[in-house]
Amino acid sequence: MSRRPARADDAQPTADAAGPVGPAWRILTVPNLISFVRLLGVPLFLYLFLVAGADVAAVVVLAVGGMSDWVDGYVARRLRQVSRLGELLDPIADRLYILATLVALTVRDVVPWQFTIALLARDVVMTANLAVLRWYGYRPPPVHYLGKTATFVLLAAFPVLLLAATVPGAATVAGAIGWGLALWGLGLYWLAGGLYLGQTRRLVRASRSARAEVG
């Protein structure tokens, strides 16, 4: 059974059984460093793909960034270094990778603008959803496994689509695989968004009921 998102006034833990809890410990962790490196990969990919024209190197950067999506979370759990900063950095890195890749691939005519709009529209809806949660005093909900799966599939699809566009001999096979992953990821992305919207709706109803009882 999933737990509700923490409210803004909820108490935060003050100790970690695995080690120190000072600010430096919470920031300078292995998973956080991995997330920082992933963030640096975003402008590097854009430079290689849109400025330098180094398509092969761009494919490598994109593939490494996509494959490392699960690494920081795995390392955080393995080393017991889960932190609030890490919980924020991971989805930020995911969103930036998806946004940067979509813009770059659309500019280079690798993906059609209709696909880009379909993906970005979901993020617009989720931004509005987060604003509603904030209004009622809730923090962003924990990332659902379906949302993580959708992100992983999309980040796997993009380098394959780029490979299909830059290596003529791989166009047929890589294109079929890439678009299969991309459309699957798009469907999961919206399905996860629907789950978040449903969760927000329940929280808003509960909050209104509580306020009505108090009033």
Strands (E), the chain: none
Q: CB within 8 A of 93, min separation 6: which ones?
A: 35, 38, 39, 42, 69
Question: Tens of pLDDT along 166-198?
Answer: 888 888 999 999 999 999 999 999 999 999 999
Q: Which helix (H) or strand (E) holds 33?
A: helix 30-46
pTM summary value: 0.75
Which residues lie across from 7 on neighbouring strands?
Answer: 138
Residue 11 lies in a domain: no
Residue 92 structural domain: 23-214
Question: Tens of pLDDT along 96-153?
Answer: 888 988 999 999 999 999 999 999 999 999 999 999 999 988 887 777 788 889 988 9
Q: How many structural domains does the chain have? A: 1
Residue 4 lies in a domain: no
Residue 146 lies in a domain: yes
CATH number at residue 185: 1.20.120
Residue 13 lies in a domain: no
Q: Which of 90, 50, 87, 88 is nearest to 70 (CA)?
A: 90
Q: Which two tokens stand for residue 8?
A: 């803004």
